[in-house]
Structure 1
Amino acid sequence: MKNVYVVRLGDLYYKERELSVTNTYRCTMTDSLNDASFSEDFDSAKKIAEKIGGKAYKINLEEAE
């Protein structure tokens, strides 16, 4: 079993940070946990969550047989 962290804001999950045409960064969000970005480091997930006003959540991943 492996612990990872995901950032959630309301019903959306953090996917990635991308550069826009105005040379500023914006966050891309998704409504699917399968498309969300996972982090193994809680501190980095927490920093992202603080920037976007969301929360970092721990998820336990299990291998399927």
Structure 2
Amino acid sequence: MIKTTIIFIVLVIINRILTSRKYNLEIKLMILRAFSFKYLLIIKYMQRDKKVPMNESGESGQLKNVS
């Protein structure tokens, strides 16, 4: 519960920065790049905590792609 609250607060702050007009494009791109990398790390840690089995493609075993 605490993890999801912290992630939500970080998302709100990043959303405020990205939608405001006073920050220039380079800062927004840096934030997006850093956040996308950290988001992947957060997903990996959450899957490790929940003991979700990962398959070869790196997706969790619970979500199956329907084609």
Both proteins in one fold, TM over 0.5: no
Report the structure, 1 or 2, having the larger strand content: 1
The structure with the larger Rg is: 2
Report the structure, 1 or 2, having the larger helix content: 2
* Larger RCO (CA under 8 A, 6+ residues apart): 1
